[in-house]
């Protein structure tokens, strides 16, 4: 299982395709704060709620200097369907190989109804302008999480 990030760590670099297949890198956002959130699957109830929450609060977050990137193991085609169906405004990136998920400590052992399996750990990492981890939140809930982030960031 990969190590969880801690505040002060350098955020692992990544380049992944977005819903349209365009490559997006963390380094594209240097000098700006970025909220990178990891979710299990597009078009599922919890992940839809979370993505809609981020979209609904995007103006507020952007006004405070934050950009939002959502990463899941879905393929770009599924992300495009998700974005279009839910009118999402956040950047959605595809990580089907789970390399970025693992480098951020957002993929590992999970337990559900007594069963242990490998999967995406719903997580949010706030990266500062220098590319360092400002906040690292793991095992977050889909519902109410965005409100908590806004509160934690003092927005």
Residues involved in catalysis: 47
CA gap 60, 41 in Å, rounded: 25
User: Which of 51, 53, 37 minimizes the C-alpha distance to 122?
Assistant: 37
CA gap 100, 71 in Å, rounded: 9
CA gap 154, 60 in Å, rounded: 12
CA gap 150, 30 in Å, rounded: 21
User: Which of 97, 36, 34 minimizes the C-alpha distance to 71?
Assistant: 36
Q: Kindly list the distances between the CA atom of residue 64 and the CA atoms of 6, 42, 140, in Å, as whole numbers in the listed order.
A: 23, 27, 22
């Amino acid at each position: 299982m990969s190590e969880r990030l801690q505040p002060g760590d350098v955020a692992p670099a990544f380049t992944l395709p977005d819903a349209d297949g365009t490559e997006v890198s963390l380094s594209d956002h240097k000098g700006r704060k970025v909220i990178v959130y990891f979710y299990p699957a597009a078009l599922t109830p919890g992940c839809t709620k979370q993505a809609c929450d981020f979209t609904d609060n995007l103006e507020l977050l952007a006004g405070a200097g934050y950009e939002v990137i959502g990463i899941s193991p879905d393929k770009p085609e599924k992300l495009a369907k998700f974005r279009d169906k839910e009118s999402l405004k956040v950047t959605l990136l595809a990580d089907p190989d789970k390399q970025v998920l693992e480098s951020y400590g957002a993929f590992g052992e999970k337990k559900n109804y007594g069963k242990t399996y490998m999967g995406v750990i719903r997580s949010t990492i706030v990266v500062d302008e220098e590319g360092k981890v400002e906040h690292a939140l793991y095992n977050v809930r889909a519902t109410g999480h965005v409100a908590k982030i806004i509160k934690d960031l003092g927005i």
